[in-house]
């Protein structure tokens, strides 16, 4: 999957993207709500191999898309099929130095459009730590609906955490467009 937006190129990761990826994932704040610990100088190569290997979306393989601004990778959007028919889950991590400029919203909207238009996806969902307000706001900005709040349902990094589930159907997008036309 290769996509262009007004300011970004979204594409599978390439070997030269390791250092930019490290800048995203070395941050304790970025990794606070993720399932893995921050990357270190000694682990970055091994961690980066996963991003490189997951370069094609199918029911058996995950996809990581590098979000490139000019010559710099500033984000990672991951996509994988769930066990439910025609349903994918998305996750996203962005370099905190580029926050607040709309890049994540722009990238996630492009991925959503591609998934519904060309991948025959019925539903897109995002599961996130309920404390992750930045990701919750991003889900809302791209039109996703908060569908669930599970209390202390996930054990991660030594503690029970609450989870939010956001979801989006293609019909939600059509309905929103029709409201804009009125």
> What ranges do the domains of the chain cover?
3-181
Which residues does the chain have with pLDDT short of 70? 174-182
Cut 0.75: pTM above it: yes
Domain covering 3-181 in this structure, CATH number: 3.40.630.30
CB 131 within 8 A of CB 161: yes
Which pLDDT score is estimated for 160? 94
Give the largest Cα separation in the chain, rounded: 56
Give the separation between CA 51 and CA 49, rounded to whole angstroms: 5
pLDDT, tens digit (0-9, with 9 covering 90-100), for 38-86: 899 999 999 999 889 989 999 899 999 999 999 999 999 999 999 999 9
Element (H, E) at 177: helix 170-181
């Amino acid at each position: 999957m290769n996509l262009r937006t007004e300011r970004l190129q979204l594409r599978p990761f390439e070997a030269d993207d390791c250092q930019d990826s490290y800048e995203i994932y070395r941050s304790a704040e970025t990794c606070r709500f993720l399932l893995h610990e921050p990357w270190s100088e000694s682990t970055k190569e091994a961690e980066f191999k996963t991003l490189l290997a997951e370069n094609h979306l199918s029911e058996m393989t995950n996809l990581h898309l590098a979000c490139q601004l000019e010559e710099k990778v500033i984000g990672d959007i991951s996509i994988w099929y769930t066990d439910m028919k025609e349903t994918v889950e998305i996750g996203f991590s962005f370099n905190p130095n580029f926050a607040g400029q709309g890049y994540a919203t722009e990238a996630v909207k492009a991925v959503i459009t591609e998934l519904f238009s060309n991948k025959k996806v019925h539903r897109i969902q995002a599961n996130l730590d309920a404390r992750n307000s930045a990701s919750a706001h991003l889900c809302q900005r791209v039109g996703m609906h908060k569908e669930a709040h599970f209390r202390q349902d996930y054990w991660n990094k030594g503690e029970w955490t609450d989870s939010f589930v956001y979801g989006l159907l293609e019909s939600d997008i059509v309905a929103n467009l029709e409201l804009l036309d009125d």
